[in-house]
Every structure is written in structure tokens, then in C-alpha cells.
Amino acid sequence: MGSTRAPIEVGQRFSDCVVLRADYSRGKLHWRCRCDCGVTFVAVPFRLVRGTTTSCSSCKKKANGQAKVANLEGRRFVRLFVLGRVGSNKVGQAVWRCQCDCGSKAVLTTGRRLLAKNGPTRSCGCLAREAPTKRQIDLIGQTFGRLTVVKYERNDFWVCRCACGASTRKRGQALREVKARYHCGSFVCDAEEDFVGPILPRAEAKRMNLKRYSPGKRCKRGHLDSHLVSNMSCELCHQMRGFEFKESYPEKMRLYDKRSRERPEYKLNRNASLFSRRNDDPIFRCVELLRTRVGKTLRRIKVKKTKAFNRGRALEKAIYSVLRRQGLSIDDIKIGEYELDHIEPLAVWMWSASSTANKLIEKEANGAGNLQFLSLSAHRRKTKKDFEKHGWSGSEPVYKDHTESLHSLLLSGSQYPSYFVGHEPIIIEELKTALTSGQQAVSEKSARLRARPWRRVASNLKSGRPKPATGSRRPRLGVR
């Protein structure tokens, strides 16, 4: 007995979607439909008839999330009072608007974070700022030299009152380990050159779990500085010996660093700290994303990425300025509703083999003027427009090496980007060195092919040229 199928017609509605046209792009008959939210998708015919496909995937996730979510409106979680629901994020989790008791701006968080057993959201962040962590040693009331600890601020910073009456901020670790100056830093307190902090015996410092202590006397070389608890040596002498060893045995230091990084516990601790920081700090996640994009761009044109120090702080400032410009908060980008995008894509910039030029381009491309936060749908539309605008296709590489064109542009004196001004000589020298080394590598390869006939034969076969006859043997004609 043959089976009968229900006919599907163009314009027919199936719950929350409407059939637009037939689609044979996947080898079989499918139907392209439009969801009520405006998204088009491809559906299998029998799923439409059976009723399992009623909308696009994102709407289905949100609907599933709405069906399973618990109503948290009016409930209190320590300092947060739930005002109401504001929708769902991209994975279908319910997002709730909460008001903190401290009176700050309303907080947007998911119900999963509110109901979590481990590390739930209980405030806008004021709880962590007001009180030290459980592992933090309480220093309130303790005296360090001329400083008396008054209160805890945040991030291991303590407010101290100097004997002269002024107030200052010091890190708790620096106070405990005799790394900080035990005065406010004014010209009156700073005038005592021999002031090195409280004089502690080694046994007392060891009992307090300090790494350093001040014996109150000079070492053999005349340094009036703190001593290490582990070996009782002067800290300045210890540093000098370390610098001398690094200069004398650089290979040993490189081998030691390499072995330290290869330890399994090192990698596990580093990965765990990075994972937690990516989840908790969206600004760090955006900074890491920008640096990773530049690294991928340079690897695609086969150029090694150069190290740039203190670029993380500059990128953080740029991201904060973009948030202020667009009127967004950290909570908006934390729940995943916005993505960081380059206004001018990285593929249109003149990346080359010059490390100086690449640093200048990276600074300009990742600046606040070239960054923006877009919603998921707007980001997809912009990507599609960029491909149409620049004529990118799947057959041609999007990222190109501009070493030769940039070298000729700088030598000719034509108009070039303003951020290159003042750096032309060193950029030209680096580009010239890269071009010369590239030509030399090509000439060495051709010389090796000429020296070895079998390599030349293999090269001819790969390029499609016929194999030449060798020796006295005649080329074969036909098959025996």
C-alpha cells in the first residue's frame, strides 16, 4: 500500500512560519520558510506536516526556555530584588531585571545565575567591594611603621592613616611582605632615608607567613634593605645575583622557563584561571578576542605576530569608551546580546612583513574609532554587506600580504596612511629586508632543483610539463 503525503503550497502557514518557496540546494526537496520574527530558514517537508518544525531555531529555544522557566518576579536574593523579566538571551535562558539594595543601576542577570548553588549572583558587585574575601587576612587596626590600617576598600587595597595625619591606600600583600613604604609619601615622612619599616625577627616573620623581614641593620655589602625569610639574604643582593646568573647562563634560563611552562599543573592552573576570568570579566574576553583576531590575520598572510607590551590596557580603555559612546553597560555585553565588531574589517588594512607597520595598524584598527558593539542579527547583516562591498568570494583569499605594494608606496612618496608618518625609514628597511630574504629563498630553491635532476623532474610532473628523456634510452611510445 503506498503512503500519501499532505501537499504543501507556497504561502501556507505552519504555526509561526510561512512557506516562501521550494529549495533544492541540499539535493532533495526542502521548503524555505519565514518565521514571524523575520528570519528565513530551510525546513524538511515531513517535519512541517508532522508539526515538529513551527518556527526558526532561535524562537524555538526561547519558547522552550519560557516553558521551563520558573517565575522569579517579586523574589529576593540577598541584596537583589527581582523586578520582572526582560526576555531571553541567545541560548534561551530567561533574563531578569533586578534592583540592588545599594541603589545602583538595575542589574540584568539570568535566572540560572540567581538560582545557582555555587557562586550565585547576590548583588550588583557591592558585596565583593565592601568586604574582604574569606582568604583575606583582616588588617584593620594593625600598625605598619607610621601607617595604621583604617578600613578595607577593594581589590586588596586598604585605607591607612599616617602618623602625620594624612591618608593613603596600600595593598595588603605589600604591607605584610614589607614591599611598601610605611608612610604616606609626603616630603616630611619621606625625608628619613633609613626608614625601612618595622624591625621584625626572622622567627616572628616566619610565624606570620611573611616572605620578607627587616633585621634593622646593614648587610655585608652595606645595603639597608629587607631580608628574605627563606635564606636570610639581603633582597638587593639576591636580585643582583639573579641578574648576574641570567646574563651568564641565558640558555639555562630559557630551558628552565620552557620546562616550567610544560608542567601539567602549570597548564591546568593557567587554563582554569583563564576560563573563570573569561566568564566573569567580559572586558577581558573582548580584549582577548581583539588580540586573537590580529594574530589570526597575520598567520593567514604567513607573518609572525610581534609582541606588544601594555596593549591590554589600551584595548580596555578603547572598549570602555565604545560602551560610553553607545550608551551600553557591562551587563549588556555580559549576557551575550551584543558582539564586538570592527567598523573597517581587518582584511582591508595593509598588513605586511614589517613589524613596526603592523603595530601601528593594530593600534589604529583596534582603536575606539574603529570598534562598535552590534546585536547578533545586525552583525550578520554587516558581514554580508562587507563581503558584497569589497567583492570577496570563496575562491580568492580575503587576507592579502601588502609587503610589495606598501614598499613601493613608501618609496614613491605617494599619499600613505597618516599613522605611518615619522616611521617611514624603519618600515622601509624592514620591508626591504623581508623582500630580499624572500628572493634569496626562491633563488636557493631553484639552485637546489638545478643541482638535483630528480627534483626537477618531480617539479615538472607537478606543474604538468612532460618528463624529459634521459640517457640513451628512447622515450616509450604506447604500451607493450
pLDDT at 393 over 80: no
Q: How far apart are CA 222 and CA 244, in angstroms?
A: 19
Q: How far apart are CA 353 and CA 435, in angstroms?
A: 9
Given the DSSP bridges, would you call strands 107-110 and 94-100 parallel, antiparallel or unpaired? antiparallel
Average pLDDT over residues 244-270: 83
Q: Which residues lie across from 23 on neighbouring strands?
A: 30
Q: How far apart are CA 347 and CA 391, in angstroms?
A: 12
In which band, very low, low, confident or very high, does the pLDDT at 270 lie, cut at 50, 70 and 90? confident
pLDDT at residue 228, rounded to an integer: 86
pLDDT at 331 over 80: yes
166-191 pLDDT, tens digit each:
889 998 888 887 777 777 766 556 55
pLDDT at residue 229, rounded to an integer: 86
Q: How far apart are CA 194 and CA 217, in angstroms?
A: 10
pLDDT at 193 over 60: no
Average pLDDT over residues 204-222: 80
pLDDT at residue 153, rounded to an integer: 83
Identity (one letter) of the amino acid at 287? V
pLDDT at residue 49, rounded to an integer: 87
The total of other beta-carbon atoms located within 10 Å of residue 314's CB is: 15
Average pLDDT over residues 341-347: 92
64-78, 277-291, 317-331: which range is least confident on average?
64-78
pLDDT at 82 over 90: yes
Q: How far apart are CA 338 and CA 57, in angstroms?
A: 19
Cα-Cα-Cα-Cα dihedral of 216, 218, 224, 227, to 10°? -70
pLDDT at 459 over 70: no
Q: What are phi and psi of 444, to 5 degrees?
A: -65, -40
Q: How far apart are CA 180 and CA 209, in angstroms?
A: 17
DSSP characters over 195-263: --S----HHHHHHTT-SEE--SS--TT-----EETTT--BHHHHHHHHHHHHHH-HHHHHHHHHHHHH-
Identity (one letter) of the amino acid at 7? P
Q: Which residues lie across from 97 on neighbouring strands?
A: 84, 108
Please report where in the chains the cell 554587516 appears, as a residue.
382
CA distances, 21 to each of 12, 31, 43 (Å): 10, 6, 11
Q: What are phi and psi of 458, to 5 degrees?
A: -65, -40
Grid cell digits, residue 362: 593594530
Grid cell digits, residue 250: 641565558
For residue 311, which of 366, 349, 370 has the smallest C-alpha distance?
A: 366
pLDDT at residue 2, rounded to an integer: 42
In which band, very low, low, confident or very high, does the pLDDT at 460 lie, cut at 50, 70 and 90? low
Please report where in the chains the cell 519558547 appears, as a residue.
63
Average pLDDT over residues 355-380: 91
pLDDT at 391 over 60: yes
pLDDT at residue 20, rounded to an integer: 92
pLDDT at residue 465, rounded to an integer: 54
For residue 308, which of 264, 257, 363 has the smallest C-alpha distance?
A: 363
12-46 pLDDT, tens digit each:
998 889 999 888 877 788 899 999 888 999 998 88
286-312 pLDDT, tens digit each:
999 998 899 889 988 888 777 766 788
413-455 pLDDT, tens digit each:
778 888 888 888 899 999 988 888 877 776 777 777 666 655 5
Model confidence pTM above 0.85: no
In which band, very low, low, confident or very high, does the pLDDT at 366 lie, cut at 50, 70 and 90? very high
